[in-house]
Amino acid sequence: MPTASRLLLSARTFFTLPAPAAFAVPLGLSLNLPSLLPGIFESILRAVPKKKTSHSKKRMRQLAGKALKDVTALNRCSACGKVKRSHMLCEHSHSFDIFGIASTSSHIVSVAGDSNVKVWELATPKHPLAHVFNGAHRLGAHHVAASTAVTEPLAATAGFAGEIIIWDLENMKERSRIEVVSDCDGVWAIAISPKGEQIAATTCDGKINVWNTSDMKNMAAQYTTKGSFGMCIDMSADGNLIASGHQNGGIYIFNNTTERMHHSLQGLVKPIRCVKFSPAGKLLAACGDSNVIGLFDVSSGEQVANLSGHSSWIFSLAWSTTGEYLVSGSFDGKVKVWSMETRSCVATQSEATASVYAVQWLPKGVSGGEGFVSAGANRTLAFYRETSGE
């Protein structure tokens, strides 16, 4: 297929695959979103909470932008010599929109509408490319998940052609794969357990399929829901629970021990684009086209908070290592940091006007302080870090 039409197909699939008729906007690429955002929303989005004296005040101020590296600072790319923004990798990380990023303890893995899976070093400040799996996904890939344990790091990527590939990141090679596995259009979102023993994937008919990564031929478990497209999935840090979010607004939590549904959650309008367990597994954050992030208590199933502030679809969420902060990325290009202590937005990064499809918190202790990475329609990974001191 010629490149142009392949890319268009990928983009179209990304936006319309869940349910073409139900989407307010059939073709994401033809949107001119900024003009849809009246100025009044800008002031709301930029608002930071009132000063408050608490032990985390300094941290909050740091994250609120005081200590985030100046986003307009420029430097020269060590690889190609081009002048670029200092926190961005040299443009472009991918030749098409980046749809997913995941992090192991030492690498960031990114997938895009192009066919390559790219692996970036975390330990070196400039985050050089560590490896490219060239032509890995014929039609591009839309989701990536990675194990977080230090030993035998694995990543899994899900492609637009319906395949899942498991990557051995220690030896930088393909470990196993499954091709179109369900009777509809294959699998969609994927999650991998922290130690990499199991992988779970949603399907367009609402099923959750679970495999042992050591045996991708035989399914280890399967959960069934009401049949609505499974748009997102996550596994808790202890591997005991799986959460899925669906096109019809359904959010489910499954218990891996009993292999049964643990909760069916209510509260957000459809569809759900991201679900993420907090590091301690007590909370589940969920978001989507309601522009609100819902926080749910995992043991009771009660909704405990609504985080509002985004004025567009929220595509992606990631918790900080300690669970103190949540970062969210939106279709309008805004990236927000939320404090769990105050349950409010403490920072907004709004330099990108291109949609942000993926955010990922960086593991602690990787080249200095805390930070996160975002990526999307700009095709460039952007690393944000808290600097030391004020």
Provide the binding-site residues for ligand NAG, judged by CB under 6 A.
84-85, 88, 91, 193, 197-198, 212, 215, 218, 220, 239-241, 255-258, 262, 267, 303-306, 352-354, 378, 380
Strand partners, 131: 119
CB of 138 to ligand NAG, least distance (A): 27
The nearer residue to ligand NAG, 17 or 220, going by C-beta atoms, is 220
CB of 192 to ligand NAG, least distance (A): 9
Contact 331, 322 (CB under 8 A): no
CB of 2 to ligand NAG, least distance (A): 25
**CA–CA dist 64, 343 (Å, integer):** 14
Assigned token pair, 119: 């692996």
Contact 384, 374 (CB under 8 A): yes
The nearer residue to ligand NAG, 255 or 387, going by C-beta atoms, is 255
**CA–CA dist 24, 253 (Å, integer):** 28
The nearer residue to ligand NAG, 227 or 279, going by C-beta atoms, is 279
Spacing of C-alpha 108 from chain mean position: 12
Long-range contacts of 336-343 (CB under 8 A, 24+ apart): 336/45, 336/309, 336/310, 337/63, 337/64, 337/372, 338/293, 338/307, 339/49, 339/56, 339/60, 339/63, 340/278, 340/283, 341/54, 341/56, 342/49, 342/52, 342/60, 343/295, 343/305, 343/307
The nearer residue to ligand NAG, 16 or 212, going by C-beta atoms, is 212
CB of 382 to ligand NAG, least distance (A): 7
Upstream peptide bond of 271 is cis (omega within 30 degrees of 0): yes
Q: Which residue has its beta carbon closest to ligand NAG?
A: 239
Assigned token pair, 366: 């990787």
The nearer residue to ligand NAG, 139 or 285, going by C-beta atoms, is 285
CB of 215 to ligand NAG, least distance (A): 4
CB of 212 to ligand NAG, least distance (A): 4
Cα three-residue angle 335-100-363, rounded to 5 degrees: 70
The nearer residue to ligand NAG, 199 or 347, going by C-beta atoms, is 199
CB of 211 to ligand NAG, least distance (A): 7
The nearer residue to ligand NAG, 61 or 92, going by C-beta atoms, is 92
Q: Return all residues near 2 (Cβ < 8 A) that are at least 6 apart.
A: none
